[in-house]
Structures are given as structure tokens and as C-alpha cells.
Amino acid sequence: MTDNIIIKLARLIEERSDESLSLAALAREANLSPAHFQKRFKEQMGVSPKVYQEACRLKKLKAELRKGNTVTEALYEVGHSSPSRVYEKLNEKIGMTPRQYQKQGQGLLISYAHASTVLGKMLLAATERGICFIQFGRTQKEMLETLTDEFPKAQLQVMPQTSAAEFGRWIKALDAYLAGSVEKLDLPLDMMGTAFQIKVWKFLQKIPRGSTWSYSELAEKIGNPKAVRAVASACARNNLAIVIPCHRVLRGSGELAGYRWGFERKKALLELEEAMK
């Protein structure tokens, strides 16, 4: 059921996202206690008023950067009085620094390598911060096209010899996991997505090996029980096969549901992890 007062205040937050809007002030507008207002807002919108305002600011920031404004100008324009304090947070939410976003990822260096696994051909790619892309595919060309589509303005390069040992360790760790000889993957990751997507992906990593959750259970775990569709969308946008275990999420009926790398791979992964319990 649509909560009209919450929708009205969500629009107010959008219009005034560059202002300081306290929970208490918003609750007074709704004639509710702060706790009750926060609860109703999360039920209707899927996130808290604070996170919603941050998302609105981020949307405006992206628009300002596209206009060609400097990063500092854009940050002031959307209501940040001290840009240096929020710069790193924006890095996390955009998935790259604001300057890189302004250039549509141009200047971001991504190295990649191909490998063969028991689940088929795989492409692994990384930035200087960690692995940003693990994909399965039928051909190397197909996987490289997917990487290019995901990071159209980044500089892509074949794994340099100086990084061969590190890439080799990562691929060896993935092979060992798929062979059932190690129980846990501990690899450096560079997750690139929205704040909501990254939150979902981090919760996916908390699903115990050999266990499964439904989309609705995952939505409840992240504190947004109404955001089932958004959770499913975040799972579908996962670019880090296996290490972000979206294969551990099933439909409420217990069916395997979709998996961007194929039903058979999902089934094989679940069977492997069940056997490792």
C-alpha cells in the first residue's frame, strides 16, 4: 500500500537534498515520532531517510560532474560544505573517484587474464585496489567484450608480467576452491557499484558455505524487507562470480532461480559447497 505522507516527504528530500534535513524535522512534518517515521520510511522506500538523501545527493553530484563542473564545485553545489571529508565516501559509492566518474572511468587501469576452470573458461580482471571482475563465458572474446562493456572508458591491458605471480595466486586459489580443497576464498576485491549494491554484495559474503537464502531473507538481513526486487537486481549485477556468492540465493519456493553464468554452473557450485560442509 502506498504511504502518501512518506511519498510526499521523499519528494521533499529530493528537492532539498542539498540542505541539512534532520530525522526529527522530517518526523515533525509527518506528525510522527522519529522512530516511527524512520520505520515507515524504510518500509515504503527500502532505505532510511538519511541513505535516501545521500542517494539524491549522489544523483545530483553525477549530474553536476557531467556538466563539466570541477569536483569541488560539484560537491559544494549538492550541499557538501567540506568536500575533503566526503571525497573517500563518494569513492565508495560511485565505485571510482569522482574525477574518474567525470571522465566515465577514463584513466582507470584494469589488467586481465584468462584461465580454464572446472566450470569453464574464466576471465579475471583487477585494478590496483583488487579484483573487480570475475566472469565465466564460452570464449575469451565474449568475456573480453563483457569487460569492455562494463568499463567502456577504462584502459584495459593484458596482465603485465610484473603482476603474473599475484594473478597466478588468485587463479590458483579459485581453482583450489572449485576443486574442493580449500573451504574459504580470501581475495582482495574492488567492488564497483552503488552503495545499495555493495551493501547487498557484502551481505552475500556472509551466507555460510553450503547454505542458501531466499531473496526475501536477504532483503530482511540488510534491513530492507520491502526491497526484494532491488536485492534481486543487485545480485544480477554482481561482476564477481564465486567470491560474491550470489549463487547461494534462491527463490522463495526453493528453486534455483536465474544465474547470469548459467543454471548448470549454479547447480554445480551449490553441490560442491554442500559436499564441503
Ranking 36-40, 77-81, 210-214, 246-250 by mean pLDDT, the lowest is 77-81
Amino acid residing at 93: K
* Residues 254, 216: Cα–Cα separation, whole Å: 12
Evaluated on CA atoms 88, 90, 93, 96, the torsion sign reads: negative
Kindly tell me if the per-residue pLDDT of 78 is higher than 80. no
pLDDT (0 to 100) of residue 57: 75
Length of the chain: 277
| Cell triple for 110 | 584494469
CATH, range 4-102: 1.10.10.60
pLDDT tens-place string over residues 12-51:
888 887 778 899 999 998 899 999 999 988 888 777 888 8
Same fold for the pair 4-102 and 195-275: yes
pLDDT tens-place string over residues 87-143:
445 544 445 554 554 455 567 899 999 999 989 999 999 988 899 999 999 999 999
Q: How many CB atoms within 10 Å of residue 229?
A: 11
pLDDT (0 to 100) of residue 94: 47
* Residues 195, 227: Cα–Cα separation, whole Å: 14
Active site residue 132: no
Kindly tell me if the per-residue pLDDT of 82 is higher than 90. no
pLDDT (0 to 100) of residue 217: 92
Kindly tell me if the per-residue pLDDT of 81 is higher than 70. no
C-alpha 249, offset from chain centre: 15
Q: Work out the average pLDDT over 235-239.
A: 89
| Cell triple for 84 | 575533503
pLDDT (0 to 100) of residue 183: 81
Interhelix angle 195-204/83-94, rounded to 10 degrees, is 60
Q: Is residue 174 very low, low, confident or very high in pLDDT (cuts 50, 70, 90)?
A: very high
Residue (of 121, 116, 158) closest to 136 by Cα position? 121
Q: What are phi and psi of 247, to 5 degrees?
A: -70, -15
Averaged pLDDT score across all residues of the chain: 81
| The CATH number of domain 109-178, selected from 1.10.3720.10, 3.40.50.150, 3.40.50.2300, 3.30.160.70 | 3.30.160.70
Spot the catalytic one: 56, 132, 235, 246: 246
What kind of architecture, by CATH, is found in domain 195-275?
Orthogonal Bundle (1.10)
pLDDT (0 to 100) of residue 68: 54
Ranking 23-37, 61-75, 193-207 by mean pLDDT, the lowest is 61-75
E-only strand ranges, the chain: 109-117, 120-127, 130-137, 155-158, 213-214, 249-250
Domain ranges of the chain: 4-102, 109-178, 195-275
* Residues 96, 98: Cα–Cα separation, whole Å: 6
Kindly tell me if the per-residue pLDDT of 200 is higher than 50. yes
Angle at 51 between CA 22 and CA 82, to 5 degrees: 70
